[in-house]
Structure 1
């Protein structure tokens, strides 16, 4: 539960930073959506995919990616009509929840290790700053209030704590972890491209369109460099 609390602090800090950034765009929903899309693309390209390729075998990742794409198509139909231009916070939340599971179970397996402590705790706090930023930007891009975001952050923290406990008593095979991470990668990729970027291609001029995406990617690079 302590590490779950650290995760809550982490995603909340990322959310506060996203709120500050949103003020610079005066709540421009299309701009915030493109910013979030570029940020997610950067998060995948700079952090999640390289780490996954180093830690897990390719077959499990590809299987997870295929399963994630099929899941995306099903959840997209449930989340909103196909004609909607509103990005789905639900898809992003599910993707980040799945991304959290391998990490939390690995931490659970390491709880009995005497070296477990400040290093893992610090890594956990910093690692989830970008996730809080992405979730908050996604919500703001829909023009909604931040009231529901607290519930999302609490859910992430509880899920993180639950799978730490599970990981302490049960081992998830590396093949299973690879599949889960592949599903997460696929959901993040399809959500960022389809829901946050492509939907807004016709909403603004090409120069502004590319600028927002590039700015999101640069922000992701800054997060990656700092943490």
Structure 2
């Protein structure tokens, strides 16, 4: 299977996730705060059910821990920079960066297996199912923060290009496991801190406790549903 086809499958996958997010947003269209809380709960579920267990099972634990620390330091620097320039709510950009970084280790792994025809079906299925939640998450926060949809489209195109590029690299070059572990750790740190700080804690005080719990729990249950699908 070619690199371009896999990139096209990722683009299809994130757009499928975007369609689901759009339907959910229609249900909760009166509450941008609720949609952000739902996205936060969804990302927490995605981390605890899929990303973190898989990361510590497949990659170097020390490298992941170092990456998480680097992600935390990066967020501190970004928040300080944006705060000093009076810009507001950098969460959508941090989440986008996190998803780009999260794509790299998976892409390299797929690139290493690309020459084996026995993996064709599993690679295709993994590519489609693995990125539906990412499309859902980033679309939800784009809608909640009133971002322009052209930015979302460019993000999806960029993700597809990044995915294809690092599959090509994985098929031709070798990036050691420690480096991949650090990258995955950075991604985990960015997603975790962004989902908790920017999506949940920032919005939880804007609505009632009951509403907050309902939206966060709904988001988590959606992540459970995606987990069962994959």
TM-score range, shorter chain: over 0.9
**Conserved? CA contact 1:63–1:179, under 8 Å:** yes
1:147 is matched with which residue: 140, 146, 150?
Answer: 150
Residue of structure 2 in register with 1:120 after alignment: 123
**Conserved? CA contact 2:82–2:90, under 8 Å:** no
Residue of structure 1 in register with 2:223 after alignment: 220
CA distance in 2, matches of 1:224, 1:166: 29
Comparing 200-209 and 75-84, the one that deviates more: 75-84
Give the TM-score taking structure 1 as reference length: 0.95
Matches within 5 A, 1:10-89: 10-79=13-82, 86=89, 88-89=91-92
Matches within 5 A, 1:90-105: 90-105=93-108
CA distance in 2, matches of 1:94, 1:145: 17
Deviation at 1:13, TM superposition (A): 0.2
Q: 1:23 to 1:79 in 2, by over 3 A?
A: farther
**Conserved? CA contact 2:67–2:183, under 8 Å:** yes
Residue of structure 2 in register with 1:211 after alignment: 214
Provide, for residues 129-172 of structure 1, a one-character-per-residue CA deviation record: whole Å limited to 9, x for no partner.
00000000010110234222110000000000000111111111
Deviation at 1:79, TM superposition (A): 4.9
Deviation at 1:56, TM superposition (A): 1.4
Residue aligned with 1:148, SS? helix
Matches within 5 A, 1:175-190: 175-190=178-193
Provide structure 2 residue ranges, at least 5 long, that are not aligned to the other structure. Answer: none
CA distance in 2, matches of 1:113, 1:145: 41
Provide, for residues 69-117 of structure 1, a one-character-per-residue CA deviation record: whole Å limited to 9, x for no partner.
1111122334566987635211001101111000001111111223131
Provide, for residues 16-40 of structure 1, a one-character-per-residue CA deviation record: whole Å limited to 9, x for no partner.
1000000001241100100000000
Residue aligned with 2:118, SS? coil
Runs of 4+ more than 4 Å apart: 78-85
Give the TM-score taking structure 2 as reference length: 0.94
Q: 1:97 to 1:79 in 2, by over 3 A?
A: farther
**Number of paired residues?**
227
Q: 1:42 to 1:82 in 2, by over 3 A?
A: farther
Residue aligned with 1:128, SS? helix
**Conserved? CA contact 1:89–1:139, under 8 Å:** yes
The answer to whether structure 1 residue 162 and structure 2 residue 150 are counterparts is no
Q: 1:61 to 1:152 in 2, by over 3 A?
A: same
Deviation at 1:43, TM superposition (A): 0.4
CA distance in 2, matches of 1:198, 1:82: 22
